[in-house]
Structure 1
Amino acid sequence: MTIQAIWFDFGGVLSPSIDELYRVYQQNTGISRIQMEAAMHAVAKPLNVQFQAPIELAMMTQVEWGQGMSKALSELYPGIDLSRCDFDNHGEQWFSPHSVNEHMFELFHEVKAAGLKACILTNNVVEWETPWRRMVGLDDVADSIVDSCKVKLRKPDPKIFALAADRIGVPAAGCVLIDDVEENCEAARAAGWHAILFVDSHQTQQAVRALIGEAQPRAQAGAR
């Protein structure tokens, strides 16, 4: 099956790395990744879901989540200073210091120019849509954007891969996921997709350009 569509993850692929996002957040607020994720686990525990799921599946509003985060952080780390945290506007605070990964931005355009569908498949948050889509700047280019909070499914749930492929009318075997989480890549492969584990931009560019090179001769042959 010829590759017809390449789906880019947002966080850690089109955005800076997750480590970098947390590093800058700690620099700006004083709250570390360990502290944030501990609080996120505490907020998610009563719902019996993965620690990011409450907001990535829109089970909570950003304000509700933020209230839970403030409470959890204060209980887990008595005396913690939350004065620089703006949980009511966490998406803006989280993304505003950052720019799109230029290498992946350019690769997205390369995919389009090669005649393949270029799409985004992201686990994301309702209230974060404006800042993250503004940062990425691909609204007018993407053939499809599938966002967990809107479809109420999140990677690695196999249903989100079926939904995404159906959205663009491409068989599973014609889809490729680029993601920085191995579990998501494994789930995509189990759903019949191809997957590229994002390690760095150069490695991903090489892998995608190889796929484009394989797809183009077949497409040209089919057009004769």
Structure 2
Amino acid sequence: MIHAILFDAGDILYSKPSRQQAFDTFLVSRGYAASKNSDPIAKEMRLKAHAGQMSELEFFERLMAHHGVNRTKDVEEGIELLHAEQRKVVFFDGVADTLFELKRQGFKLGIVTNTYNSQQEKYKWFAPLGIDKVWDTYANSCDLKIIKPDPAIYMAALDPIGVHPQNAAFVGHAKKEIEGAKALDITTIRFNPDPDCFEADYTANSFRDILDLSCIVESANTMSANKPSI
């Protein structure tokens, strides 16, 4: 039976659809080459920032240097743009209503996120939807200095709420992160999957579909049946 549901944040609760295009437009407008779709150097820098090995500002500075941005004004304005785009989040349909309903049904809710943004920062993003108060646990990679799929980051979310992995579900989009949860015997739910992410215990085609998955329905019914009558 599932007692807690852990969510990835980016590309699960929200997306940032304008970020890449805005950065490429900036680069080209200043006479630099647009970024590559697959850039292992930029990816490695991002992972180091996620692991708390560099700050958001340091990551942005290194990213500018990596793209050859060397004029002082361009660097400053490029960093300002990246900072603004990082915070332009668009929530998927049904996120708030679904989280509120899961909470009402008795599930503990948590976030397990690879990020260089603080928990307090992301709560500011959540506040307009009222979902900054729904979380029972939060595992932030840059604070913990570990990233998914390291099993320790999933446990960093579960241990504080006293839930065993066998009684938890993880909603993710990335193959390695789904596999990391599965290795701990956490029930896995695939939503908005990456192109190489084909397998999970369950698939939600929309965020609201999470409510209709058999593992969630059965657990909610069991919790309701076991709830003491008043």
TM-score range, shorter chain: 0.7 to 0.9
Aligned match for 2:68, one of 44, 50, 74: 74
CA RMSD of aligned residues (A): 3.0
Q: Is the 8 A contact 2:181 2:188 kept in 1?
A: yes
Higher fraction of helix: 1
CA distance in 2, matches of 1:193, 1:33: 36
Identity of aligned residues (%): 19
Q: Is the 8 A contact 2:151 2:184 kept in 1?
A: yes
**TM-score, length of structure 2 as denominator length:** 0.76
CA distance in 1, matches of 2:9, 2:98: 13
Q: Deviations over 1:195-223 (max 9, x none)?
A: 11112774443244323310122223334
Residue type at the aligned position of 1:152: K
Question: Partner of 2:109: helix, strand, or coil?
Answer: strand
CA distance in 1, matches of 2:155, 2:121: 27
Match of 1:47 in 2: none
Q: Is the 8 A contact 2:113 2:140 kept in 1?
A: yes
Q: Compared with structure 1, are the counterparts of its residues 129 and 88 closer, same or farther at alpha carbon in structure 2 (3 Å cutoff)?
A: farther
Q: Compared with structure 1, are the counterparts of its residues 162 and 130 closer, same or farther at alpha carbon in structure 2 (3 Å cutoff)?
A: closer
CA distance in 1, matches of 2:150, 2:27: 34
Aligned match for 1:107, one of 66, 89, 98: 98
CA distance in 1, matches of 2:82, 2:41: 14
Q: Compared with structure 1, are the counterparts of its residues 143 and 110 closer, same or farther at alpha carbon in structure 2 (3 Å cutoff)?
A: same
Match of 1:48 in 2: none
- After superposition, where does 1:53-64 map in structure 2 within 5 Å? 53-64=47-58
Match of 2:201 in 1: none
Structure 2 residue runs without a partner (length 5+): 29-33, 194-203
Question: Partner of 1:177: helix, strand, or coil?
Answer: strand
CA distance in 1, matches of 2:121, 2:91: 11
Match of 2:12 in 1: 13
Q: Is the 8 A contact 2:24 2:35 kept in 1?
A: no
Tell me the number of residue pairs that the alignment of Structure 1 and Structure 2 aligns.
208
Q: Is the 8 A contact 1:29 1:85 kept in 2?
A: no
Q: Compared with structure 1, are the counterparts of its residues 136 and 37 closer, same or farther at alpha carbon in structure 2 (3 Å cutoff)?
A: farther
Q: Is the 8 A contact 1:7 1:178 kept in 2?
A: yes
Structure 1 residue runs without a partner (length 5+): 45-50
Question: Partner of 2:94: helix, strand, or coil?
Answer: helix
Q: Compared with structure 1, are the counterparts of its residues 21 and 196 closer, same or farther at alpha carbon in structure 2 (3 Å cutoff)?
A: farther
Q: Is the 8 A contact 1:36 1:73 kept in 2?
A: no
CA distance in 1, matches of 2:159, 2:81: 33
